[in-house]
């Protein structure tokens, strides 16, 4: 009686159930279209609204007991056939929950719904596919105790080929759905066309579920590893700040460093201001005239060139006369004049 009530659509339960499915299915299509940012508050509110609708529909389907493992696909009415999609639609919306603190829970529930959908389709023999194993929840200790083995190239090649085949089937189903959807939305579809429309959608979601299960398993492993790293960082004691390292220069070996130095002409040991201040204190700057003053103070005789410069500065007549005579002699005698020794 419950199946007849749901299939015929008479009664409040049947009407409400079909409305819940239609609204939730529409939200799933909007989310898949990606018209807005998946992590925006508006999109997440839409996802939660769709989850609420589809979960209510799934609860009513369970209460009405629409599906049984003892039935065949031909025994399901067209009106009830569409409710096979409920777990897949729920899984898709669970995948769309992007809050970091609930991501692992969302992925776990999405995997459960996808697996439930595939199991139900496998029981009704909707399509021929390999049903993935229902992997039990393992603990972190169990995951760490399994050492990674070498890659199985044969299995990887088979997995890749299966993925290519699923992609081809999905494209074919989506192409057929475009034509059938126009007839269904126009309101001119009979029972056979409507049944074909729901079967095409179910088979399309089978290919989607098989693909998404693989990606969910990979993401679950990543999220768990991230949680383990965060816990390890939180439990790690705070380390004291390290003192700043002094700059150093790398050389090929110690011998080269001792022989050729650090590879530069010289390394600065003081600033320009420090050098200037040091020479100023010792009075050794050029404008201070220290060497001449020190020599005079110590009673040393000035050198010959310095003495001549001093006399020239003091306008000594004798020195000027000798200088002029020397210049005149150089003008009338070329360089080397008189040096005729051993020249024949």
Whole-number percent of the chain with pLDDT over 70: 73
pLDDT tens across 53-97, in order?
999 999 999 998 888 878 888 889 988 999 999 999 999 999 999
* CA 79 – CA 100 distance, rounded (Å): 38
Residue 148 binned pLDDT confidence (cut-offs 50, 70, 90): low
**pTM of the entire structure?**
0.60
At 279-334, the pLDDT tens digits run 888 877 776 654 554 444 445 555 555 666 665 556 677 878 888 888 888 877 77
What mean pLDDT, rounded, does the chain reach? 78
pLDDT(179) > 70: yes
Q: At CA 170, angle to CA 169 and CA 176, rounded to 5?
A: 90
Cα–Cα distance between 125 and 223 in angstroms, integer?
34
Exposure string of 143-158, with b = 16+ CB inside 10 Å and e = fewer, is eeeeeeeeeeeeeeee
Q: Per-residue pLDDT averaged across 135-163, rounded?
A: 65
State yes or no: pLDDT of 15 exceeds 70.
Answer: no
Distance CA 281, CA 266 (A): 24
Structure tokens at 171: 């494209």
Instruction: Set out the domains of the chain in order of their start, with CATH numbers.
Output: 2-137+205-235 (1.25.40.540), 254-332 (no CATH)
User: Given the structure tokens 């189903």, which residue do they identify?
Assistant: 173
Per-residue pLDDT, 147: 55
How confident is the model over 246-285, as pLDDT tens digits?
Answer: 766 565 666 666 665 555 555 667 788 888 888 888 877 7
**Helix ranges, the chain (H):** 2-8, 12-33, 41-64, 78-81, 86-95, 103-123, 140-145, 153-186, 191-235, 254-260, 272-282, 290-297, 304-313, 317-332
- The burial class, CB within 10 Å (0-12 / 13-18 / 19+), for 299 is exposed
């Amino acid at each position: 009686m419950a199946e007849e009530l749901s299939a015929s659509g008479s009664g409040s339960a049947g009407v409400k159930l079909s409305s819940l499915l239609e609204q939730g299915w529409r939200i799933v299509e909007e989310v898949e279209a990606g018209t807005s940012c998946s992590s925006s508050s508006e999109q997440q509110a839409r996802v939660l609204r769709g989850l609420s609708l589809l979960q209510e529909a799934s609860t009513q389907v369970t209460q009405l007991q629409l599906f049984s493992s003892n039935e065949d696909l031909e025994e399901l009415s067209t009106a009830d056939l569409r409710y096979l999609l409920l777990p897949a639609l729920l899984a898709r919306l669970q995948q769309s929950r992007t809050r970091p603190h609930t991501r692992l829970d969302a992925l776990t529930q999405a995997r459960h719904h996808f697996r439930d959908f595939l199991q139900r389709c496998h029981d009704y023999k909707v399509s021929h596919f390999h049903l993935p194993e229902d992997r039990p929840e393992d603990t972190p200790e169990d995951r760490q105790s399994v050492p990674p083995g070498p890659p199985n190239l044969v299995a990887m090649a088979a997995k890749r080929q299966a993925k290519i085949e699923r992609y081809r089937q999905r494209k074919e189903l989506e192409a057929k759905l475009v034509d059938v959807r126009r007839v269904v939305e126009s309101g001119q579809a009979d029972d056979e066309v409507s049944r074909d429309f729901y079967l095409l959608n179910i088979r399309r979601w089978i290919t989607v579920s098989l693909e998404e299960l693989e990606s969910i398993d990979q993401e679950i492993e990543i999220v768990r590893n991230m949680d383990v790293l965060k816990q390890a960082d939180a439990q790690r004691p705070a380390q004291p700040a390290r003192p700043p390292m002094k700059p150093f220069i790398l050389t090929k070996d110690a011998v080269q460093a001792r022989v050729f130095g650090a590879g530069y002409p010289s390394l600065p040991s003081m600033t320009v201001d420090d050098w200037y201040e040091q020479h100023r204190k010792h009075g050794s700057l050029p404008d201070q005239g220290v060497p001449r003053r020190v020599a005079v103070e110590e009673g040393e005789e000035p050198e010959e060139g310095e003495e001549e410069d001093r006399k020239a500065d003091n306008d000594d007549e004798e020195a000027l006369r000798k200088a002029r005579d020397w210049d005149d002699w150089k003008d009338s005698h070329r360089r080397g004049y008189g040096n005729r020794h051993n020249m024949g």
